[in-house]
Amino acid sequence: MSASAIDLRSDTLTRPADAMRRAMAAAEVGDDVFGEDPTVRRLEEEAAERLGKEDALFVASGRMANLVAVFAHGAADAPVALGATSHLNTVEAAGIDRIARIERVPVEEKGAAPVADSLRAALEGGARLAAFENTHNGAGGRILRPEEAEPLAALAREAKVPTHLDGARVFNAAVALGAGAATLAAPFDSACFCLSKGLGAPVGSVLTGTREFIDRAREARQHVGGAMRQAGVLAACGLHALEHHVERIAEDHASARRFAEIICEAPGVRLDPPEVETNMVYVVYERGGRDSAWLQKELAKRGVLAFEKDGRIRFVTHLDVTREDVERAARVLVETASS
């Protein structure tokens, strides 16, 4: 990997720039476990407002937000219904199995949305929590639209089952739709988002919900070892990100679309899914015995980094790659695929 590699492996790769570091340095702090860190409190208030919920809790990561949500919904002894290809049911499965120790009931999905009949069956089968994801990473950064989400959330409501939104990239969905994040979180009882992905902060996620829910989540966070002390230095990055890095996500989406446009005509290249809705482009490559794994390795040698998994290569645009970088990466891909 050369120093000038164009790194499209993930939107978690961004580094805090000078203005964000200055916000860290200037942050007023206190012991957050005593409820005395004013910067953490400000971030939690800002996040709650943006997601249209009563209260919020700053946590170390998206996984911790999801795990703590499972506990705080009181689902610790009962099955949870979740999308079969969701982050929760794949990457986070071990945490749910070994820490929460609850059964996962995978629900069939179409695009970013659980299939209604499959969700209904999970609820009838005794699921006590239903989880959703927006944008849906495994589905290629696709958006779960409010009009799709609402009837599904209603099924859970009718069964008196609470709902949780893993909104790691909900701001990508919001910006792409030109809606507020609150609109996308509205169907769900709780929702979390990552500050450390498209928003460009180095660390952190925020979980939002009712005041009572957040009280329980705060307790659960302590049980899983997630209580932080003078965390205001990190919360300051989150506040800076919410203030300065939300609208600009549109540039990442435009770059991803441009990338897809350039590469889609290359021989052996197929976009999967064909639509690029946010900041991710998934590619399948098959040509003359060469596959996606081959292409990913060749690209790395030529300074374009991406992830390959299960026959698909994922390219993610973010704050630290320019439109020019992305266009250059796309041209390298076209050359390599054609070689």
Ligand X SMILES: *Cc1c(COP(=O)(O)O)cnc(C)c1O
* Span from 60-68, 157-165, 303-311, 331-339 in contact with ligand X (CB under 6 A): 60-68
Using the structure block, give the residue that is written with the tokens 């209604």: 116
* Span from 56-64, 171-179, 233-241, 276-284 in contact with ligand X (CB under 6 A): 56-64
In the complex, what is the shortest distance from the CB of residue 270 to ligand X, in angstroms, rounded to a whole number?
23
Nearer to ligand X (CB atom), residue 187 or residue 298 = 187
* Span from 61-69, 285-293, 314-322, 323-331 in contact with ligand X (CB under 6 A): 61-69
Nearer to ligand X (CB atom), residue 120 or residue 142 = 142
The answer to whether residue 313 forms part of the interface with ligand X (CB under 6 A) is no
The answer to whether residue 170 forms part of the interface with ligand X (CB under 6 A) is no
Nearer to ligand X (CB atom), residue 100 or residue 194 = 194
Nearer to ligand X (CB atom), residue 205 or residue 278 = 205
Distance CA 267, CA 269 (A): 6
* Span from 59-67, 106-114, 120-128, 211-219 in contact with ligand X (CB under 6 A): 59-67
Q: Give the chain's count of helices (H) and strands (E).
A: 13, 15
The answer to whether residue 137 forms part of the interface with ligand X (CB under 6 A) is yes
Nearer to ligand X (CB atom), residue 6 or residue 65 = 65
Sign of CA dihedral 120, 132, 80, 192: negative
Nearer to ligand X (CB atom), residue 227 or residue 264 = 227
Minimal CB distance residue for ligand X: 62
Among 50, 53, 87, 312, binds ligand X (CB under 6 A): 87
Cα 116 to chain centroid distance, Å, stands at: 23
Helix (H) or strand (E) holding 106: strand 104-107
Among 50, 53, 63, 218, binds ligand X (CB under 6 A): 63
In the complex, what is the shortest distance from the CB of residue 272 to ligand X, in angstroms, rounded to a whole number?
18
Ramachandran category for residue 80: left, alpha or beta (phi over 0 → left; psi -120 to 50 → alpha): beta
Which positions from 147 to 166 touch ligand X by CB under 6 A, shown as an x/- string? Answer: -------------------x
Are 192 and 208 a contacting pair, CB within 8 Å? Answer: yes
- The DSSP secondary-structure symbol of 40 reads H
Which positions from 193 to 212 touch ligand X by CB under 6 A, shown as an x/- string? Answer: -x-x--------x-------
Among 5, 30, 36, 61, binds ligand X (CB under 6 A): 61
Distance CA 114, CA 107 (A): 6
Sign of CA dihedral 242, 247, 248, 250: positive
Long-range contacts of 273-277 (CB under 8 A, 24+ apart): 273/111, 273/139, 273/140, 273/142, 275/140, 275/142, 276/140, 276/141, 277/135, 277/140, 277/141, 277/142, 277/143, 277/176, 277/253
Among 62, 114, 140, 198, binds ligand X (CB under 6 A): 62
H-helix segments, the chain = 18-26, 38-51, 62-72, 93-95, 116-124, 146-158, 170-177, 181-185, 211-223, 232-244, 249-263, 292-301, 323-338
In the complex, what is the shortest distance from the CB of residue 290 to ligand X, in angstroms, rounded to a whole number?
29
Nearer to ligand X (CB atom), residue 134 or residue 336 = 134
Across the beta sheet with 205-209, the strand order is 55-59, 205-209, 190-194, 163-166, 129-133, 80-83, 104-107
Give contact residues for ligand X (rule: CB under 6 A).
Answer: 61-63, 87, 133, 137, 166, 168, 194, 196, 205
